[in-house]
Every structure is written in C-alpha cells, then in structure tokens.
Amino acid sequence: LATILGRKKSANLVKKFVDDLISEIDLISEEDLFDTAYEIAFLVKERAVDIYSITTAKITNSILITNDKIMASNAKKANIEAYYLIEEFDKAINKIKELQHP
C-alpha cells in the first residue's frame, strides 16, 4: 500500500495515512500465526499459500469466503467454515445475513 501511494504522494503523508489505517485494523503477527499454521499444515497438504488465509480465519473465528475453489476445500479440511463464492454465493449471503441478525 505504501509503495503504491508513495508514487503520487509524499512519504510523510503516506506514512501518516498508513499509520492511521493500521491503528484501526487488528493485525495478526507472524508469531501468532505460526503455531496455528503449523498445525493446519498437517491437514492442508496442497498449497502453503492457502494456510495464511485459513489460519487467519481460524484464529479470528471467522468464516472464509473465497473465489478460490481449492482454498475453500482446504479450509473445510481444517474445519473452517468456508464458501466457494462462485458455487456457494447464496449460502454465503445467507450466512452473512444470519450473522448480522442472529
């Protein structure tokens, strides 16, 4: 983000913007991700790149909605509620509505 914004704006302005933005977002450190990702790696043996998103969903007790069919499948292997948006759009929307109005 900083690199892209820095193409058009000053470094000081970009730094302030990014710092303000980060203060509003819950970031998960690599250290916090590692142990859970390590355990998930034994369940999801296909693509390491999926483990970051799956682990984040696990740690934050979130559902995972993706346009990546393999990622959705891998998340389900790790017992994460996941939806492949292209095929499960209606289910995903219903779940979001359910979460908004329990």
- Judged by DSSP in three states, 64 sits in strand
3-state SS assignment for residue 80 = coil
Would you say 49 and 58 are in contact if contact means Cβ atoms under 8 Å apart? no
pLDDT at residue number 7: 94
- CA dist 101 and 85 (Å) reads 21
What is the value of pTM for the model shown? 0.73
Each residue's pLDDT expressed in tens, for the chain with a length of 102 residues: 899 999 999 999 999 999 999 898 888 888 889 999 999 999 888 788 889 999 999 999 999 999 999 999 999 999 999 999 999 999 999 999 999 987
| Closest by Cα among 98, 52, 91 to 75 | 52
CA distance 63 to 96: 9
Residue 25: its pLDDT value, please? 87
DSSP string, 81-92: -EEEHHHHHHHH
What residue segments make up the domains of the chain, in order of their start?
A: 2-100
**The pLDDT of residue 41:** 92
